[in-house]
Structure 1
Amino acid sequence: MDIHHLREEYTQAALSRKDLQPNPFQQFECWFQQACHAELQEPNAMVLATASAQGEPLVRTVLLKYFDNNGFVFFTNYESRKARHIDANPHVAVLFLWLPLQRQVQITGRAMKISTAESLKYFATRPRGSQLGAWCSPQSSIISSRQMLQMEFEKMRQKFLNHEVPLPSFWGGYRIVPDSFEFWQGRSNRLHDRFLYIRQDNDHWEINRLAP
């Protein structure tokens, strides 16, 4: 299938050194707010890349649930394939792709489990159906049918009927603590603007422009 004719010219915006915040978390927040104001569908969707202890990579899309200067938090089943990867190799990368704005942000760092108390605080805000779903899905495991999954969901629904759904011991959050950020703004003629932040210490980031 020849798809060479699929080509988009990037002309919406530019990014210069003087536009950047000295702190990449502040720069990310600025771009994230703009993505939200543009009413993009799920601007918090991020592609998460992990690798096994043997270096076998996998990527999948997860949802960012909150962030601050300490890092970026997402939630998952601690028995899932991504969790097994992180346990063996905490180095991860994430990518936010905001195509309507012709922007992307790449972040690399280390993922670590958050506290049970922090996971519980978030779990309590989830819709009840999502809480039950966390209990009934053996994430990443082979299952015989969707019917089996639905039967397990009904079993959990009956089990916790008229009760709060407790936090599963096998479910919780990870915080990605960044070592680097790259902010990418599409430009015409494929001469894109790219700026890389590299952590020097907790309070200082080195910023360099990269060739497109």
Structure 2
Amino acid sequence: MAPDPLAPRISYTGDAVDIGGLADNPYAVASAWIDAAVARAAERGDVPEPTAMAVATVDAVGLPDVRTVLMRFLTPEGPGFVTNLDSAKGRQLAANPGVAATLTWPAMFRAIRFRGRAVELPDELVRDYFVTRPWGSRISAWASEQSAPIASRSALEARSAELAARWPDTGSPDDVPVPTRWGGYRIVPEEVEFWAGRPDRLHDRIVYARVAEGSLADAAAWAISRRQP
């Protein structure tokens, strides 16, 4: 007897993706798809956290590790995220900068995949981002020794309360200093894939592969092709 499926099967009805209708560079396409996801989240509410991005790294013994972060920016140089540099992903990327990341929007039957290497962000860019975070999020960046064990939830909350008292909310972006080991990474892609779910699992997969130096916006740096689903 065949096993029951884990979820009801649905037909994927994503918009067709044709190479001839795409821009000659992955930056333009990624920007348009992300803007569409953000707009749909605001209009229809069925795309929660449209910039949530699964980031995969490799640990010291070669095992893959993946977690979800928020993509904090997308520039022609690549997508970026912030983190505690002493976290598991920070340690892993310091040892091996190989990285893959995926933005997935099930309600839109769309996804974007990035594969490449991670480059640590400059301090000034990290600070410029950090001061835009809400006060509570800036406090939590200090309170959490990201990825390290902790005895209890109450211990974490006590640490947060201690730091909140040290740096009270004054309404200023500078009322909480940037943590010493707070940083971030930009993904410099070697490959960018645009996936669209289509009926009968005959999905569209359009891939931009790097063929030369250049940014995501530099058409000469990329060759575009279709892959089988």
TM-score category, normalised to shorter length: over 0.9
Q: Deviations over 1:154-210 (max 9, x none)?
A: 110111135710001111111111110011111111111111110112132001100
Question: 2 CA distance for matches of 1:62 and 1:91?
Answer: 17
Equivalent position of 1:193 in the other structure: 204
Equivalent position of 1:92 in the other structure: 99
Equivalent residues in 2 for 1:149-164 (5 A)?
149-161=156-168, 164=175
Q: 2:80 aligns with which of 63, 73, 76?
A: 73
Equivalent position of 2:224 in the other structure: 207
Q: 1:17 aligns with which of 19, 23, 33?
A: 19
Equivalent residues in 2 for 1:17-56 (5 A)?
17-39=19-41, 40-56=47-63
Identity score, percent: 40
| Superposition TM-score, scaled by structure 1 size | 0.96
Amino acid at match of 2:223: E
**Residues 1:166 and 2:177 aligned together:** yes
Q: 1:146 aligns with which of 140, 143, 153?
A: 153
Please tell me the root mean square deviation across aligned C-alpha atoms, in Å: 1.3
| Superposition TM-score, scaled by structure 2 size | 0.89
Q: Post-superposition, which runs of at least 4 consecutive aligned residues in structure 1 deviate over 6 A?
A: none
Classify the secondary structure of the residue corresponding to 1:38.
helix
Question: 1 CA distance for matches of 2:148 and 2:13?
Answer: 44
Alignment length (residue pairs):
212
Equivalent position of 2:67 in the other structure: 60
Classify the secondary structure of the residue corresponding to 2:138.
helix
Quote the offset at 1:54 in angstroms: 2.2
Q: Deviations over 1:76-121 (max 9, x none)?
A: 1111001111011100000111111101111101111111111011
Question: 2 CA distance for matches of 1:115 and 1:33?
Answer: 26
Quote the offset at 1:4 in angstroms: 5.7
Q: Deviations over 1:42-89 (max 9, x none)?
A: 110011000013211111100001111011110111110011110111
Question: 1 CA distance for matches of 2:95 and 2:121?
Answer: 17
Extract unaligned runs of 5+ from structure 1.
none
**Using a 3 Å threshold, how does the CA distance of structure 1 residues 117 and 4 change in structure 2: closer, same or farther?**
closer
Q: 2:144 aligns with which of 115, 137, 155?
A: 137
Amino acid at match of 2:188: V
Classify the secondary structure of the residue corresponding to 2:94.
helix
Quote the offset at 1:5 in angstroms: 6.0
Equivalent position of 2:133 in the other structure: 126
Classify the secondary structure of the residue corresponding to 2:211.
strand
Question: 2 CA distance for matches of 1:178 and 1:91?
Answer: 10
Classify the secondary structure of the residue corresponding to 2:37.
helix
**Using a 3 Å threshold, how does the CA distance of structure 1 residues 135 and 185 change in structure 2: closer, same or farther?**
same
Question: 2 CA distance for matches of 1:73 and 1:4?
Answer: 34
